[in-house]
Amino acid sequence: MFKSVVIVGGSLSGLMHGVHLKREGVNVTILEQDGASERSSHNAGIRVDENVNDFLRQHDQTRLKTSLESKANFISVRKCESLIKADKGTTRYWTNWGLMYRILRANFDGYASTACPTPPASKPGDGTAQYLTGNRVTSLNYTNGTVTLHYVDVETGEEHSITSEVVIGADGLHSTIRKLVHAPLACQEKYAGFVAWRGAVPRASVSQATSEFFSGQFSSNLMGQNTYMVCYVIPTDDGDFTPTAQLINWVLYQDVFEGTDNEAAIFTDSSGRRYQRTVPQGSVDPRTWDRFRGPLVARMAAPFAELVSATTDPFVTKVSDVLCSKASFFDGHVVLVGDALATYRPHAGKATDQAASHCRELAKVWQGEKSLASWDFEACVNAKKMYLLSRLMGEFGRGTWFSFLRSIVSYLVFVVGARLRRSRL
How far is it, in rounded angstroms, from Cα 285 to Cα 307?
19
Average pLDDT for residues 8-30, to the nearest whole number?
98
**Tell me, what's the pLDDT at 90?**
78
**Ranges for all domains in the chain classified under CATH 3.50.50.60:** 4-65+97-188+320-424
Find the distance separating the first CA and the last CA of the chain, reported in whole Å: 26
Consecutive H or E run containing 402? helix 401-424
**Ranges for all domains in the chain classified under CATH 3.30.9.60:** 68-95+192-319
**Strand pairing category for 315-324 and 278-279:** antiparallel
**Tell me, what's the pLDDT at 401?**
85
Fold of 4-65+97-188+320-424: FAD/NAD(P)-binding domain (3.50.50)
How far is it, in rounded angstroms, from Cα 214 to Cα 305?
13
Residue 90, classed as helix, strand or coil, is: coil
**Which residues have C-beta within 8 Å of that of residue 80, sequence separation ≥ 6?**
301
How far is it, in rounded angstroms, from Cα 210 to Cα 32?
39
User: Shortest CA distance to 329 belongs to which of 384, 379, 397?
Assistant: 379
Average pLDDT for residues 383-412, to the nearest whole number?
91
Domain 68-95+192-319: top CATH class: alpha beta
Burial pattern 279-291, b for ≥16 Cβ within 10 A else e, equals bebebbbeebbee
Prediction pTM value: 0.94
Residue 11, classed as helix, strand or coil, is: coil
How far is it, in rounded angstroms, from Cα 7 to Cα 32?
9
User: Shortest CA distance to 96 belongs to which of 313, 310, 246?
Assistant: 246
How far is it, in rounded angstroms, from Cα 184 to Cα 187?
9
pLDDT at 417 over 60: yes
Consecutive H or E run containing 14? helix 12-23
Q: Is residue 421 very low, low, confident or very high in pLDDT (cuts 50, 70, 90)?
A: confident
Q: Which residues pair with 234 in a beta bridge?
A: 247
Average pLDDT for residues 346-353, to the nearest whole number?
93
Question: Could you say which DSSP state residue 26 is in?
Answer: -
Which residue spans within 112-184 are E strands per DSSP? 129-133, 135-143, 146-153, 159-164, 166-169
pLDDT at 41 over 90: no
